[in-house]
Amino acid sequence: MSHGAAPFAFNDRAEAKLTRIGRRGIAVARIDDVLREPHSVAALGFAQPYAADRGNLYPGLRAAMPESFSSALCSWLTPILQRNGMLADGHVIQRDSSYFSVVTTPSSDLLPIQRIPHYDSTDPNLAAIVIYLCDRRFSGTSFYRHRRTGYEEITEANRENYQIALDHDMRLHGPPPREYMNGDNRLFEVIFSNELEFNSAIVYPGRILHAGNIEKHFEAPQDESGWRLTITALLQMG
C-alpha cells in the first residue's frame, strides 16, 4: 500500500528510526525507502523551472511542489511521527510548505549568515523534512551546538541572547570564512550528522541549529549531474 498517487506515492511500510541528539536529547528521525517511485520523482525534479527565492536565504534554486505532493506527504508522515513520539497524542501535520531544492550558490558568493548553521523558526510546533533525491557523492545534514552559549535549539526564550552572543563572536573573530558550514569550527560543534542515502529522509525540529553538509569550497554545478537534489518541507503541527 502507499499514500498518494504516482509519482508522489509514499511507502506505507517505511518506519522512522528515532535518535535523540545533543545535551537536550532532541528527537530527530531518519526514514529510509520514502517514495515508491523515487527515480520518477527525481526526474520530475530535474525538469522543473527553478528560480531563486529572494525572500529566503536558501543558497540555490527552488521550485514549489504541487498540492498533490503536500496532501500525500502530510497523510503519510503524520502516523509515522505519531508512532515514534515526535507528534504528541492528538496532533497532526496540519499543512506544509514544500519545494524541490538544488544548491547552486558557490561558496565565494555566500552571505555571512549562510556560512553558519541556521534555524528555521522558534516555533516549537514547526518541524522540517529533507528527502534526498541524489546519490552518496553528496552529503547529508548535520546538527550543531553554539559553543559560546551551548545552545542547540533557538527558542523565543533564548533567541535574543543567542543573537547577542553571535554578534560578540563576529566582533571577536571576524566574519566566518567564505565556505559552507561542514563540520566543527571555532563557533560551532557538530552534535549529530545524518548520512545521505538516495530516497531517505531526515525529520527534525525547525528550531534546531543545522546545515546541509555541502562541500566547503563549493562551485556551482555545470549541469544536472552535479545537482544535490532534495525535497525540503516545513511542517506545521498542531
CATH number of 165's domain: 2.60.120
Q: Is the peptide bond before 177 cis (omega within 30 degrees of 0)?
A: no
Instruction: Provide the 3-class DSSP secondary structure of residue 216.
Output: coil
**pLDDT value of residue 1:** 47
Give the residue numbers spanning the domain of 178. 2-237
Separation between Cα atoms, residue 128 and residue 236, nearest integer Å: 9
The C-alpha cell 543573537 sits at 163
Could you give the C-alpha distances from 59 to 37, 81, 184, in angstroms and in order?
27, 29, 20
92: left (phi over 0), alpha (psi -120 to 50) or beta: beta
**pLDDT value of residue 90:** 87
Please, what are the averages of pLDDT over each run of 10 residues along the chain (238 residues)? 71 94 97 97 96 89 95 96 90 96 97 97 97 91 98 98 98 96 97 97 98 96 93 97
Q: Is the peptide bond before 7 cis (omega within 30 degrees of 0)?
A: yes
Nearest to 130 by CA among 21, 28, 7, 220: 28
Q: How many domains is the chain partitioned into structurally?
A: 1
User: Please, how many CA atoms are within 13 Å of residue 92, restricted to the half-sphere of its CB?
Assistant: 7
**pLDDT value of residue 5:** 55
Query: Residue type for 8, please?
Result: F
